[in-house]
Amino acid sequence: MPIRRAPRLTEAEVTDEAVYLNRRAFLAAAAAGAATLALAGSQGSAGAGAVPSTRGPLPALRNPRWSTTEPTNRLDEATTYNNFYEFGVDKDDPARLGHLLHPRPWTVQVGGLVRKPARFDVDDLLKLAPLEERIYPLRCVEAWSMVIPWIGYPLSALLKRVEPLGSATFVAFTTLLDPEQFPAQKPQLLGFAGLDWPYAEGLRLDEALHPLTLLTFGMYGQVLPNQNGAPIRVVIPWKYGFKSAKSIVRITLMREQPKTAWNAAAPQEYGFYANVNPTVDHPRWSQATERRLGEFRRRKTAPFNGFADEVAALYTGMDLRRDY
Ligand code: MTE
């Protein structure tokens, strides 16, 4: 991939660069979504008692071995400034429209090149391994960052349960496809975010098995809010935030490198590996520094987002400037 020095853009420009938006079409869809919600609300009241709570505390012990000691951002920062393009392209769309998503009932299909494929109910997944709190910085490719206390357990616990075959080399993650819950997936808006739905991401199997890769159910001591990817997402702290797929319904082990949403939309801008790397600029802006939400001065971006000691060995022999 040719690396070009980027003209300096303001953050607003960077954010807008991420997508090719059709705001008018989106507003129409959002209005349609609101109408759907009103209908769902009136129908839902009859059986409301049967739906398990999707809010509330989610107790977990902090794991200092895999946590940064940096101060965390405020909950309201982490829940009102989001990227979740299924709801729209503005940072406040996910908080505004997140109520359209119904995180229960919810199942996750885990299959592909595994000995024991299975469909898991998310409430069973919650009990598969002890929940831990991990404090990770989240570094978005758009050059902003936050520090968030996530709750989950290593994805490896789930992957080992299904017994990967020797031929499995990659893991693909697929987000829910449902335009009723994700208004920006409405067919008339295809291409509006520059993405083909459903949102798809992937990791190499050894990355997915790394103890830092967190299958995530909560944050800030609470169940994951919808705008942050309820009821289940992954968090891969040494990679740009777009690798951390939200609201996952399928995990597939495969031989070939999976197609990913951003890589398919703009291969020259978003690579498969997408490790945080201050020395490789995005074609249109620098990645050398970042703006931590709540801070005035920009700070330097750390290689692998501060986790070089833990993960650099995964890439021995690779040219990370080329295999971005
Ligand atoms: N997952 C899905 N399904 N859809 C998305 O648009 N955005 C990604 C990632 N996961 C995204 C997604 C990007 S670009 C980032 S930076 C993080 O989610 C943001 O996570 P947060 O909103 O919880 O901070």
The verdict on the CB of residue 199 being under 6 Å from ligand 1 is yes
Q: Report if residue 2 sits inside a domain.
A: no
* Structural domain contains residue 324: no
Stated pTM of the model: 0.86
User: Is the CB–ligand 1 distance for residue 101 below 6 Å?
Assistant: no
Residues with Cβ within 8 Å of residue 226, at least 6 apart in sequence:
54, 94, 98, 99, 101, 103
Is it true that the peptide bond before 94 is cis, omega within 30 degrees of 0? Answer: no
Residue of 244, 249, 262, 292 best suited for mutating to test ligand 1, as the one with most atoms within 8 Å of CB: 244
Q: Is residue 323 included in any domain, yes or no?
A: no
Mean pLDDT of 130-159: 98
CA distances for 20 relative to 13, 45, 71, 85, 88, angstroms? 12, 38, 35, 11, 11
Tell how far the Cα of 46 is from the centroid of ligand 1, in angstroms. Answer: 33
Of 237, 115, 223, 107, whose CA–CA distance to 164 is shortest?
115
- Pocket perturbation via mutation, ligand 1, pick of 26, 84, 142, 174 by most ligand atoms within 8 A of CB: 84
- Of the listed ranges 144-148, 162-166, 226-230, 319-323, the least confidently predicted one is 319-323
| Average pLDDT estimate for 261-268 | 92
Picking from 30-39, 70-79, 164-173, which range would have the lowest pLDDT averaged per residue?
A: 30-39
Contact 186, 179 (CB under 8 A): yes
Q: Which atom of ligand 1 is nearest to the CA of 140?
A: 16
Q: Residues of the chain with pLDDT > 90: what percent?
A: 77
The verdict on the CB of residue 173 being under 6 Å from ligand 1 is: no
Residue nearest to atom 16 of ligand 1 (CA): 241
Q: Is residue 68 part of a domain?
A: yes
Nearest ligand 1 atom to alpha carbon 142: 16
Report CA(106)–ligand 1 centroid distance (Å). 19
Domain assignment present for 117: yes
User: Per the domain annotation, does 32 fall within a domain?
Assistant: yes
pLDDT level of residue 322 (50, 70, 90 thresholds): confident
Query: Best mutation site among 201, 246, 282 for ligand 1, i.e. most ligand atoms within 8 A of its Cβ?
Result: 246
pLDDT tier, 192 (very low <50, low <70, confident <90, very high otherwise): low
With cut-offs at 50, 70 and 90, classify the pLDDT of residue 144. Answer: very high
Atom from ligand 1 closest to the CA of residue 78: 24
Query: Residue 146 belongs to what domain range?
Result: 11-315
- Select from 272, 259, 273, 254 the least CA-distant residue to 169: 254
Residue 3, domain member (yes or no): no
Of all atoms in ligand 1, which is nearest to the CA of residue 193? 6
Q: What is the pLDDT of residue 43?
A: 28
Report how far apart the first and last C-alpha atoms of the chain are (Å, whole number): 8
Is residue 132 assigned to a domain?
yes
Partners of 222 in beta bridges: 57, 219
The tally of domains found in the chain comes to: 1
CATH of the domain at 167: 3.90.420.10
